Structure 1
Amino acid sequence: MIKNLVLILFLCVWPFAVKAQTDENPVVWEQQVNKISETEYDLVMKANIMDGWHVYSQFTSENGSLPSEFTYNGNGTVYELIGGTNESETIVEYSDIFEVDETYFKDNAIFTQRIKLKDTVVNEIVVDLFFQVCKEVCIPMDKQFVFRLDGSTAEAKKVTVDDRSLALSKELRLDLTNKELLVKGQENITAGTNIWVIFGLGFLGGLIALLTPCVFPMIPLTVSFFTKQTKKKSKGIINALLYGFFIVLIYFLLSLPFHLFDSVDSQILNSIATNVWLNLLFFIIFIFFAFSFFGYYELTLPSSWANKMDAASSKVGGVLGIFFMAVTLAIVSFSCTGPILGGLLGGTTLAEGEIATNLTAGMTGFGVALALPFGLFALFPAWLNSLPKSGGWMTTVKVVLGFLEIGLALKFLSNADLVGHWGILKREIFLGIWILLGVAMTLYLFGLYKFPHDAPVKKLSLGRKFTGVVSLVFTMYLVLGIVKVIPLKLLSGFPPPEFYSIFEQESDCPLGIDCFKDFESGLAYAKEVNKPILLDFTGWACVNCRKMEENVWSDGEIYPLLKNEFVLISLYTDDRKELPESEKFNFQFESGRVKKINNIAQKWGTFQEVNFNSISQPYYVLLSPDLEVLNTAIQNTDIPTYKNWLLEGLGNAK
């Protein structure tokens, strides 16, 4: 039963993982032809497998993962195979999932097939290969080899690294001293706390989803179904708990494909999250979600999906039937949960740490919240009587969520504007639109107008009045902030930075501090004035970078240190501005991997990765003008910790 369940879960994840396109494939193939005689040839296919990944043998157990399969086109007509396809050395390991010995390759694999020609005029042999490359999950892939018996091949042209690129690659690497401090610092730079925050936000999103018309009415119906369909009460409770577990599992599995991108290229998810056009797409999607919450149309997945899952649950019964019931709930409730999940996906791209890990934490939290009432009410069925009745209040919840979706949509438009340097959505314009949204939501909550699916408001409930007052207070807070009566520290990181203003600013650096946005020029100035360097890896769309600048850097004791004692070098790892042609090059990693450096983000993102073994922002490093590391690296933190970190580094410099 467990084996069948794993296979079903794999099939659920497979469509999301197939053909994942990244900057570099986890398997790179080479091929060659060895001539044995006038009619006999050896076809050799070699796989170079990225560290941590593996490819399965042709002869792995049929009851386990999928084996590699070769198809020799033309076999039996223009040539014939001599024996089977030979393999290089393999690894045999027991699989706890499939309960069989599996045979696979790590690092590299070599397949050799000898053929004998029937027609000596033939010069081209085509071989198709289907295989799986696996890490946390498996990606099914296809590869076609075209062998030309005269020795030539039809391989794609490889990216070359000329002397100029090698020289520029070398310049991008720093000769740091005292680098062991960075290694020590990595122990303190964890996303543990952040993961729990993301989990909590996902959990909150799930609780909100419970209050929507797509989910709330399902709770008593589903719990009653489980507790009344079985003769034994304990059996019904176990089934309800299992149903809840499968809900959590489904949302957890939906996040797994994103780890494929993160494992193949450490910067790809950051690149996706700060991509101008993807942020614009998010903006459009969130506006689309918002108007569905306003009642102008309804978002649904194809009804055939829900019908098939429902039929499967009735047909197979037992544990698998409960699993399909959970899948049915996920599909049927999509019109309400989809926009909330979209907000969760968007929110994880704005948080520090690894995006894929954040997404898994958030999706799991969402699933736990969604599953919790099914388990609790199964254990304590009397609680069902205390549930409020379905009604117009759920429509109000959806409308409020619609306003929140528009507010979040503006953040993605702002990201695109900042990264693209368009100058459209300046700070004051952004806050002005939020104020208009706040006014509109306040007027709606007090019943001054309604949306298409709203019933006439006869009497305002206490909850609606309370939410209206909260909306009014928040709107007044924004008004006081936009006229600079009070600082908007509660919103640090969401609006554009203060220097991105419709009014002319003295500096485009944080808080008006003089800064360099190029490492070479900043280093030269630090040597000239003999001051230590604060290396600030940041981003235009980095929420936590803005929080640090507006809440920590602005502190009365920290600001003078940054302004007077350090040379600030801010390197933007999401800046898509193209480099001049003379500065573009192909960077070669020590592994031999080649990456094109065409814009500012690629340059400083690679610079951070190869020198400091980090890809997150904000990320702060203290260096002397002679490139000595002065303290451990640090990230998002509080005022006392950051102040002590600066003073300790300053003391080491002196």
Structure 2
Amino acid sequence: MKTLPALWALLILPLLSLGQIQKNPATWSFSLDKPTANAGDIVTVRIKAVIDDGWYVYSNDFDPNLGPNIAVVTINPSADCEAVGKATPVGAKEKYEEIWPGNVRYFTKEALFLQKVKIKKAGTVIAGNINFSTCSTKDGTCLPPADAPFELTVQAGAATAPASATATKPLSASITTATAVAPTSAETDTAATVPNAEGPSAAPVVADPTESLTAVEGTETDAADGSLWAFVLTAFLSGLVALLTPCVFPIIPMTVSFFTNQKGGAWKALLYGLSIIGIYVLIGTIVSRINGPAFANFVSTHWLPNVLFFAVFFVFGLSFLGLFEIVLPSSLVNKADAQAERGGVVGILFMAFTLVLVSFSCTGPIVGSLLVASAGGEVIKPIVGMAAFSSAFAIPFTLFALFPQWLKSLPKSGGWLNSVKVVLGFLELALALKFLSIADQVYHWGLLDREVFLAFWVVIFALIGFYLLGKIRLPHDSETKMVSVPRLLLAILTFAFVVYMVPGLWGAPLKALAGYLPPETSQDFKIGAAGSSSGQLGANQSASRRHGQLFSLPHGLNGFFDYKEALAYAKTVNKPVFIDFTGHGCVNCREMEARVWSEAPVLSRLQNDYVVVALYVDDKTELPPSEWYTSTYDQKEKKTIGAQNADLQIVKYNNNAQPHYCLVDHEGNLLVRPKNYDLNADNFAKFLDAGKAKFAEKG
């Protein structure tokens, strides 16, 4: 559920293009592999494009959640014929596109899709459409998605010349900025037929012996190799950024403390690093085959793993403070003494396994894409990607494991080393609360509202400050006769942090901590409620909306928490809809709300120009049985608010990452290209303005 912070904000930038009118560079033609068929026969529709030089057309055999609008072939529903499976692309190339970032598949010069159709009645007409996107290889300009409809007659009886057809509507389109490019309603309405439970690449690509495509010639292998290296580099860099997230950082003090007490030299630290890589690759690959991306969502939002993480870190924190030592049971002490090396290995593997489990809850985008690729039939890429990503963890943690050994060998290390352990214990207690907070929000337990969470943090960090000044002594501490300058400086920084947090107890936003703290909407007491809404619903009416007793919007915004209800209301007030696909455990969602939504240019537009609806994709509240349904995406029954919202995001809007912001009309059709994590408030205001302008154009 959690997205990676700064790296993804840099990578996911809007495409820029020039404002002018241009004929679409792809010209389509359509034909049948055989002109006649009887009831029960299967024919193949050949969908071919000739593409102008310097342009390419996106294929349909890559992750539809990545960002680009994949090609969508639709056979119109009919009693006389029906589509068999998904259209198969022939000869598509692959490359890495940094703007998304990820691997896309595409055609240059010529494109070919093969769509099988079962004939139910002889002498019928096959009607359909391909919705496609074209982009320039020179400057990155992308045209709005366009449609090419077709009608092909299947003859009964004597054979005739092959039937053919060409697009019956003009394919010219104006080039606009990328933020104003959106899938048409045809794409969004048929999106449910595109993805499947086995991923977008599950369909085999079968070469057509009757077709010669220049698109498959040239540097396809080189491009694939280059894209793989770029993919590996992105995975590695993303892993380094993920080290700063709140669900990975707590492992650092555990690692330092564990290896401080280890014997055996550097080989154990190296084993720790290799274990992280090995376990991560093994678990990631196996899980992707069994459950796919759903497992990452389970780990990051379900109460069981989060409460377990909280308990583990809480116990380790108490151990660091000196309440007890975590040791093997007494019955195993003799065996541990006799086989110290084996005992150490078990502990090292446990530490590595713990790190792997915890990291799953904060590594959403890259892990999700790796799991999707693995589920779709990819083998090498998921393994290599997982190895690169986990190496980013392994290298720093291996260094952390080596460093205590060096510290312990220093002369006169004395009691200061225990002081380091105690400070880490306090930090462990503070960071453990993050996991309990996630479960609390998802299941609405009401245990850790924002002010309660902050109260714990204020006390814990104040105690760290007093400890550094020598005012508190814990077991195993040496007597502190004087305070060194480094300890004094650390105490000053700690107390400054405490002073920064205190106003948050009365409603201050504390933007720097937005990703760690519960949302502001969970705070019961504020001095001077900020950001009262004017405009769309009237004061304090969000609570009267459906699910309003469970959720609330930040900054005093009034809005909705049910998709259909929001669309219906927007129609009555004639405003576009701002859809916020969010989650209780989404760190970047809280950052966007605290640091972007709160800015006056953005907040005023949300208040006055849009009907706002927040759709939580990880909420576990069960709906009445009459509202349950089976998804066309993964054929699983959707029973909860979160499951249905997540399914809507995937099926309707071809995306599964949060935060994800969609500006739509009264039918739910996209007005402009959706936006994700971007801490630039000016960019976000322009995004809202573009959606409003597009809505006005539609009348």
Task: Compute the TM-score of the two structures, normalised by the length of structure 1.
Answer: 0.57
Note if contact 1:537-1:618 (Cα within 8 Å) is conserved in structure 2. Answer: yes
What displacement does 1:538 show?
A: 0.7
What displacement does 1:519 show?
A: 0.7
SS of 1:631 mapped into structure 2: coil
Instruction: Say yes or no: does 1:488 pair with 2:497.
Output: no
Q: Which amino acid aligns with 2:690?
A: E
Which among 310, 329, 332 is matched to residue 283 of structure 1? Answer: 310
Instruction: Say yes or no: does 1:253 pair with 2:278.
Output: yes
In structure 2, the residue matched to 1:600 is 641
In structure 1, the residue matched to 2:325 is 298
Cα distance, 1:207–1:539 mapped onto 2, change above 3 Å: closer
Q: Which amino acid aligns with 1:530?
A: N
SS of 2:662 mapped into structure 1: strand
* 1:291-330 alpha-carbon deviations (Å, 9 max, x no partner): 111122223467758966837xxxxxxxxxxxxxxxx765
Which among 403, 413, 429 is matched to residue 406 of structure 1? Answer: 429
In structure 1, the residue matched to 2:671 is 630
Which among 171, 175, 185 is matched to residue 176 of structure 1? Answer: 185
SS of 2:326 mapped into structure 1: coil
Note if contact 1:345-1:359 (Cα within 8 Å) is conserved in structure 2. Answer: no
What displacement does 1:195 show?
A: 3.7
Note if contact 2:235-2:389 (Cα within 8 Å) is conserved in structure 1. Answer: no
* 1:447-503 alpha-carbon deviations (Å, 9 max, x no partner): 11222222222333333222222211111111133234x530111032222221223
Percent identity, please: 31
Q: Which amino acid aligns with 2:684?
A: Y
What displacement does 1:247 show?
A: 4.0
In structure 1, the residue matched to 2:622 is 578
Distance in 1 (alpha carbons) for counterparts of 2:248 and 2:452: 32
In structure 2, the residue matched to 1:106 is none
Residues 300-319 of structure 1 correspond to what in structure 2 (within 5 A)? 300=327, 310=341
Distance in 2 (alpha carbons) for counterparts of 1:433 and 1:457: 26
Distance in 2 (alpha carbons) for counterparts of 1:375 and 1:480: 40
Note if contact 1:212-1:394 (Cα within 8 Å) is conserved in structure 2. Answer: no
SS of 1:411 mapped into structure 2: helix
Cα distance, 1:551–1:642 mapped onto 2, change above 3 Å: same
Note if contact 2:239-2:392 (Cα within 8 Å) is conserved in structure 1. Answer: no
Note if contact 1:539-1:572 (Cα within 8 Å) is conserved in structure 2. Answer: yes
SS of 2:296 mapped into structure 1: helix
Note if contact 1:206-1:367 (Cα within 8 Å) is conserved in structure 2. Answer: no
Q: Which amino acid aligns with 2:581?
A: F
What displacement does 1:332 show?
A: 5.1
Instruction: Say yes or no: does 1:650 pair with 2:692.
Output: yes
In structure 2, the residue matched to 1:324 is none
Residues 409-448 of structure 1 correspond to what in structure 2 (within 5 A)? 409-448=432-471
Distance in 1 (alpha carbons) for counterparts of 2:584 and 2:404: 46
Distance in 1 (alpha carbons) for counterparts of 2:691 and 2:663: 7
What displacement does 1:403 show?
A: 1.3
Residues 414-563 of structure 1 correspond to what in structure 2 (within 5 A)? 414-484=437-507, 487-503=509-525, 506=540, 508-563=552-607
SS of 1:431 mapped into structure 2: helix
Distance in 2 (alpha carbons) for counterparts of 1:200 and 1:566: 35
Which among 636, 655, 658 is matched to residue 614 of structure 1? Answer: 655
**Cα RMSD, aligned residues only:** 4.2
Residues 318-333 of structure 1 correspond to what in structure 2 (within 5 A)? 331=346
What displacement does 1:246 show?
A: 4.7
Note if contact 2:239-2:390 (Cα within 8 Å) is conserved in structure 1. Answer: no
SS of 1:423 mapped into structure 2: coil
Distance in 2 (alpha carbons) for counterparts of 1:416 and 1:204: 19
Cα distance, 1:211–1:571 mapped onto 2, change above 3 Å: closer
Distance in 1 (alpha carbons) for counterparts of 2:403 and 2:454: 42
In structure 2, the residue matched to 1:41 is none
Note if contact 2:663-2:672 (Cα within 8 Å) is conserved in structure 1. Answer: yes
What displacement does 1:585 show?
A: 2.9
Q: Which amino acid aligns with 1:176?
A: S
Distance in 2 (alpha carbons) for counterparts of 1:455 and 1:334: 33
SS of 1:561 mapped into structure 2: helix
Distance in 1 (alpha carbons) for counterparts of 2:692 and 2:629: 36
Q: Which moved more, 1:288-297 or 1:409-418?
A: 409-418
What displacement does 1:548 show?
A: 0.5
Q: Which amino acid aligns with 1:509?
A: L
Instruction: Say yes or no: does 1:214 pair with 2:236.
Output: no
Distance in 2 (alpha carbons) for counterparts of 1:385 and 1:416: 38
Distance in 2 (alpha carbons) for counterparts of 1:281 and 1:451: 27
What displacement does 1:214 show?
A: 2.9
Q: Which amino acid aligns with 1:422?
A: W
What displacement does 1:644 show?
A: 2.5
Cα distance, 1:247–1:469 mapped onto 2, change above 3 Å: same
Cα distance, 1:432–1:361 mapped onto 2, change above 3 Å: farther
Distance in 2 (alpha carbons) for counterparts of 1:384 and 1:477: 33
What displacement does 1:552 show?
A: 0.6
SS of 2:600 mapped into structure 1: coil
Cα distance, 1:473–1:436 mapped onto 2, change above 3 Å: same
Task: Compute the TM-score of the two structures, normalised by the length of structure 2.
Answer: 0.54
Distance in 2 (alpha carbons) for counterparts of 1:355 and 1:529: 41
SS of 2:615 mapped into structure 1: strand
* 1:399-439 alpha-carbon deviations (Å, 9 max, x no partner): 11211121122222222222222333221122112111122
Cα distance, 1:581–1:560 mapped onto 2, change above 3 Å: same
Q: Which amino acid aligns with 1:274?
A: T
What displacement does 1:250 show?
A: 1.4
Cα distance, 1:267–1:635 mapped onto 2, change above 3 Å: same
What displacement does 1:284 show?
A: 2.2
What displacement does 1:347 show?
A: 6.1
Q: Which amino acid aligns with 1:255?
A: Y
What displacement does 1:515 show?
A: 1.7
SS of 1:499 mapped into structure 2: helix
Which among 283, 286, 292 is matched to residue 265 of structure 1? Answer: 292
SS of 2:631 mapped into structure 1: strand
Q: Which amino acid aligns with 2:630?
A: N
What displacement does 1:334 show?
A: 7.8
Cα distance, 1:196–1:217 mapped onto 2, change above 3 Å: closer
Note if contact 2:506-2:525 (Cα within 8 Å) is conserved in structure 1. Answer: no
Q: Structure 1: any 5+ residue segments left out of the alignment?
A: 1-50, 53-173, 224-239, 312-327
Cα distance, 1:213–1:265 mapped onto 2, change above 3 Å: closer
Q: Structure 2: any 5+ residue segments left out of the alignment?
A: 1-60, 63-182, 195-199, 201-226, 371-384, 530-539, 543-551
In structure 1, the residue matched to 2:219 is none
